[in-house]
């Protein structure tokens, strides 16, 4: 569920807006009827990244780091 707040109200409602977002609500900041920004709560990463989990899953081409041909840079084929 989201709450819409006009940007002209922000100076007086800033603490309320932060409280809404930190409690899990989405806050849509509007400029009149036009949505301008969305404020969402920060979510801590729950999964731990494991180095080397998919080792060998991607194989680069043998010429991966070879210079690109001039045709690539000039747009001529």
* Bridge partners, 26 (sequence order): 2
Q: 34 vs 4, 7, 31, 38, 39, CA distance in Å? A: 10, 10, 5, 12, 15
Asked if CATH classification 3.40.1620 holds for the domain at 2-39, the reply, yes or no, is: yes
Per-residue pLDDT tens over the stretch 43-67: 887 888 888 888 889 899 999 999 9
- Do residues 7 and 14 lie in contact, with contact meaning Cβ atoms separated by under 8 Å? no
Q: Is 17 left (phi over 0), alpha (psi -120 to 50) or beta?
A: alpha
Angstrom distance (rounded) from CA 5 to CA 35: 9
Pick from 3-12, 37-46, 66-75 the range whose average pLDDT is largest: 3-12
The band of 76, judged by pLDDT with boundaries at 50, 70 and 90, is confident
The pTM is what? 0.55
């Amino acid at each position: 569920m989201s709450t819409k707040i006009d940007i002209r109200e922000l100076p007086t409602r800033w603490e309320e807006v932060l409280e809404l977002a930190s409690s899990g609500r989405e806050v849509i900041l509007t400029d009149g009827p036009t949505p301008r920004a969305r404020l969402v709560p920060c979510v801590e990463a729950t999964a731990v990244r494991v180095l080397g989990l998919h080792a060998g899953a991607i194989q680069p081409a043998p010429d991966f780091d070879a210079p690109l041909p001039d045709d690539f840079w000039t747009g001529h084929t």
